[in-house]
Amino acid sequence: MTLRFPFSSSPVRPPFSIPSAGFRLLAVIVCLLATCNLIAQNMPSAAGPDVLVLSNGDALHGKFVSEAGGKVTFHTDALGDVSLGWDKIKELHASQRFAVLEKSVKLRGKKDAGNIPVGTFDVADQAVTVHSETTPAIPPIPVKDAQYVMDEPTLNKAVNHQPSFLAGWNGAATAGAAIVSATQKQYTVSGGVALTRAVPTVSWLNPRDRTLVGFTGSYGKITQPGYFAAGVFVPETVTKSAIYHAAAERDQYFSPRFYALAQTAFDHNFSQDLQLQQIYGGGIGFTVFKSPKQEADLKATLQYEKQTFIDAAPGSNLNLFGSTFEADYIRHVKLFTYTQSLAYIPAYNQSRAYSANETDTIAFPTFKNLSFSLGTTDSYLNDPPASLPPTERNSFQFTMGLSYAIKSKY
């Protein structure tokens, strides 16, 4: 029905009648507002910065990063990463989820990792209190027993993921050279690469396997140009030295310290007339001690060994059955890193065909991943074949150069 008023030529709708298009638009707006309000109510509030209170009462605001071996790493925009001992911290309040590992906890896999308390935590009165939603409430942990504290993604990555074969490698590459141009022409180049891949890649999980590969080498040449003496031409003479060593080892752990190993090694030493020494063997190893500052390993193998010599007389080349008894040691201090390897290689079917070697290296950090290194390699071969000039049984070399640290990003 349409109503008309006097002096009006257009129809008038009842006051309660709303156009259908306007009604639909209003309904959509109301629904959007209600949805936004519901989302806002269910979104977690942005976590504030973590707070670290020093023993003198000063407070730092930023982000807790991790803790290992009693050293806490805390990041602030003004100071960057700050490293502090627990004794310097009065209080600490972390708003993100972290895992706290006690000294007494031994992790071997996913099953053990499920018992680790994970959650936000507070530190007060030299004790860590974890607020976990997944594990039963645990009493406060004394800070001296909190061996590691890491974020939840780091825990999941270390426990639940296996790095690819190309990931997880750590080590160093070293290079050095010397050139002399005078009456004699002389040059020497040396270098090496040592890489280790340990799985898991973190020290707070028990080791499962380890792969080691390495190469060291030095090559030098001294040239005495030809000359005339009393009308007689003396031809040019060349003296060279070449020492190479390459090795690979695979360790498979059946306890945190004991492991089975397979290894191979190849050696060439021109000054000892050794064309090639090949070793293929397997055995056991034992980690005597291991800490962030030092580590020592003892190894013993049974192996097949073949020695071939340069211009050797018939019968000089040898096929041997023997062993390698080896000790490896590494020490990290503030100013340098010291590495030592000792090996004795007897042959059971040829008692005279034994050898031994020692390698020592000191690396001094210089700039970022670069360091200055000094090294010695002492090699003893008891049975070189007779030759002219006579072959020395002992070979010693001293090297120096720059080393570049190779660090895994896994």
What pLDDT, on the 0 to 100 scale, is given for residue 314? 73
* pLDDT tens profile 77-102: 988 999 999 999 999 999 899 988 88
Every domain of the chain and the residues it spans: 50-160, 169-406
Using the structure block, give the residue that is written with the tokens 């290079």.
175
- How remote is the C-alpha of 268 from its chain's centroid? 29
> Residue type for 4, please?
R
Q: Are 97 and 72 in contact (CB under 8 A)?
A: no
What pLDDT, on the 0 to 100 scale, is given for residue 108? 62
Rounded to whole angstroms, the Cα distance separating 361 from 338 reads 6
Name the nearest CA neighbour of 339 among 364, 356, 320: 364
Give the model's confidence band at 155: pLDDT under 50 very low, under 70 low, under 90 confident, else very high: confident
Using the structure block, give the residue that is written with the tokens 């409430």.
137
Name the nearest CA neighbour of 239 among 270, 269, 216, 217: 270
Q: Give the bridge partners for 185, in sequence order.
A: 181, 223
* Three-state DSSP string of 60-99: EEEEEEEEECCEEEEEECCCEEEEEEHHHEEEEEEEEEEE
157 pLDDT above the threshold of 90: no
Identify the DSSP state of 256: S
- How remote is the C-alpha of 221 from its chain's centroid? 36
Output 283 or 203, whichever has higher pLDDT: 283
Give the model's confidence band at 280: pLDDT under 50 very low, under 70 low, under 90 confident, else very high: very high
Output 103 or 152, whichever has higher pLDDT: 152
Give the model's confidence band at 7: pLDDT under 50 very low, under 70 low, under 90 confident, else very high: very low
Question: Which burial class, exposed, middle or buried, applies to 15 when counting CB atoms under 10 A from its CB (0-12, 13-18, 19+)?
Answer: exposed
Q: How many residues does the chain have?
A: 410
Give the model's confidence band at 192: pLDDT under 50 very low, under 70 low, under 90 confident, else very high: very high
Q: Which CATH class is domain 169-406?
A: mainly beta
Query: What value does the mean pLDDT take over residues 172-192?
Result: 87
What the block records as the tokens of 400 is 């120096």
211 pLDDT above the threshold of 60: yes
218 pLDDT above the threshold of 60: yes
* pLDDT tens profile 309-364: 987 777 788 999 999 999 999 999 989 999 999 999 999 999 999 999 999 999 99
Q: Quote the percentage of the chain above a pLDDT of 90.
A: 49
Give the model's confidence band at 133: pLDDT under 50 very low, under 70 low, under 90 confident, else very high: confident
Q: Which residues contact 176 (CB under 8 A, 6 or more apart)?
A: 189, 190, 191, 399, 400, 401, 402
Query: What value does the mean pLDDT take over residues 188-193?
Result: 92
What pLDDT, on the 0 to 100 scale, is given for residue 258? 97
Rounded to whole angstroms, the Cα distance separating 408 from 163 reads 11
Output 239 or 289, whichever has higher pLDDT: 289
Give the model's confidence band at 37: pLDDT under 50 very low, under 70 low, under 90 confident, else very high: low
Query: What value does the mean pLDDT take over residues 107-124?
Result: 77
β-strand pairing of 209-224 with 370-381? unpaired
What pLDDT, on the 0 to 100 scale, is given for residue 17? 47
When mean pLDDT is compared over 1-5, 49-53, 236-240, the highest value belongs to 49-53
What the block records as the tokens of 382 is 């008891």
> What percentage of the chain's residues is helix, strand, coil (to nearest 5)?
10, 60, 30
Rounded to whole angstroms, the Cα distance separating 394 from 356 reads 10
φ, ψ dihedrals at 31, nearest 5°: -65, -40
> Residue type for 325, please?
F
Kind and range of the H or E run holding 283: strand 274-290
Q: Which residues contact 112 (CB under 8 A, 6 or more apart)?
A: 105, 106
Give the model's confidence band at 165: pLDDT under 50 very low, under 70 low, under 90 confident, else very high: confident
Q: What is the number of other CB atoms lying within 10 angstroms of the CB of residue 177?
A: 11
Give the model's confidence band at 40: pLDDT under 50 very low, under 70 low, under 90 confident, else very high: very low
> Which ranges of 123-254 would DSSP assign to H, the alpha helix?
152-160
φ, ψ dihedrals at 305, nearest 5°: -135, 135
3 pLDDT above the threshold of 50: no
Query: What value does the mean pLDDT take over residues 216-232?
Result: 87
Output 400 or 296, whichever has higher pLDDT: 296
- How remote is the C-alpha of 372 from its chain's centroid? 19
Give the model's confidence band at 112: pLDDT under 50 very low, under 70 low, under 90 confident, else very high: low
Give the model's confidence band at 4: pLDDT under 50 very low, under 70 low, under 90 confident, else very high: very low
What sign for the dihedral angle of Cα 177, 180, 184, 185?
A: positive
Query: What value does the mean pLDDT take over residues 115-141?
Result: 84
Query: What value does the mean pLDDT take over residues 140-151?
Result: 89
Q: What is the number of other CB atoms lying within 10 angstroms of the CB of residue 291?
A: 9
Rounded to whole angstroms, the Cα distance separating 216 from 357 reads 13
What pLDDT, on the 0 to 100 scale, is given for residue 25? 60
What pLDDT, on the 0 to 100 scale, is given for residue 107? 66
